[in-house]
Structures are given as C-alpha cells and as structure tokens.
Amino acid sequence: MNGYREGSRAQVVSFVAAYRRLSSSVISDVPQLSSLSDIVREVRGGRVPRRAALTGGVRYQVHGIGCMMVGADGVIVDVDFLADGRAIFDVIRLAEFVQSTMPDVSLSRDDLLAACRSAVVEGLVGEVREGWFVVERRDLPITLAQPLPRP
C-alpha cells in the first residue's frame, strides 16, 4: 500500500473515532436522545432544534435523514441514518472530514474509496450499498430509510 493509501486508511479510522466522540457528546447533551439517529425524529417532532451549539463546543445540524456534527476543534463528521438507526457515510463525507482535519492534505476519492473498502475487509465498517459505508456493522440485512444518491 502506498503512502497516500495508508494515509487514507488512517482517515477512515479517524472518521469512525470522531463519529463516536461527537455523537456521544450530542447524545449526552440532548436528553431526548438514546442514540444519535433519534435526533432526526426529535427535530421533525419539534422537540429539539434543527441546529444547536452544545455545552462542550460541539455543534450539530440535522438535514434530511442525517446529521452533521462539528467539534470544538473544527472536525466535521456528516452522516445519514439507515432505517435501523445506524450511521452511514460516503467518500464525499469522508473527504469533507479529511479537509476539516488536514486542510493541506489532498487525498483522492479513489484512494479514500479503496481505504473504505479495505476497512470493510478488516471489519471496521460495512458497505451497505455501492460507495456507502456503515459505521456500526451489526451484521447486515440493511433497509435504507430512503434511496441514497450514488457518490
């Protein structure tokens, strides 16, 4: 594996870690949530705001079937949710994360996609649809909340 591919793999690992850190922060600061995916239902029901800044410096913004979180350090993690509540991401969202963590580094989408697929083989993430990856595997069958655009 070349340096860029290895760097891309490290970014997949970092994305998953950042997702866990930021989602835990949102869940602990928003008492209505038992999981991050609950936030979409709570926003639609008018029980929590669509966007907010939380006490730990984390901000979130709910969109469609997903949520973008921004850490106090500027790290951006954007995910959609499957019908069963698992968070999913694509290479475009991974690239946005990379830009937020390493603005001077440019990793190709091909390298990021290869890294995601390598992470699937390692069991770190699962590929639920071509180019879409699930953070928590809970081993497959998958039902999408709605059709997702292809990357």
What's the number of CA atoms in the CB half-sphere (13 Å) around residue 72?
7
- Taking all residues of the chain, what is their mean pLDDT, rounded to a whole number? 86
pLDDT of 36 = 95
Band (pLDDT 50/70/90 cuts) for residue 2 is very low
Residue range 11-45, pLDDT digits in tens: 899 999 999 999 999 999 999 999 999 999 999 99
**Residue ranges per domain, the chain?**
3-134
What values do phi and psi take at 98, rounded to 5?
-60, -45
pLDDT of 144 = 38
**Are 89 and 119 in contact, with CB atoms under 8 Å apart?**
no
Residue range 73-107, pLDDT digits in tens: 999 999 999 999 999 999 999 999 999 999 888 88
Q: In degrees, to the nearest 5, what angle opens at C-alpha 134 toward C-alphas 122 and 16? A: 70
pLDDT of 26 = 96
Instruction: Inform me whether the pLDDT recorded for 151 exceeds 50.
Output: no
Residue range 7-16, pLDDT digits in tens: 678 889 999 9
Residue range 119-142, pLDDT digits in tens: 998 888 999 989 999 987 655 444
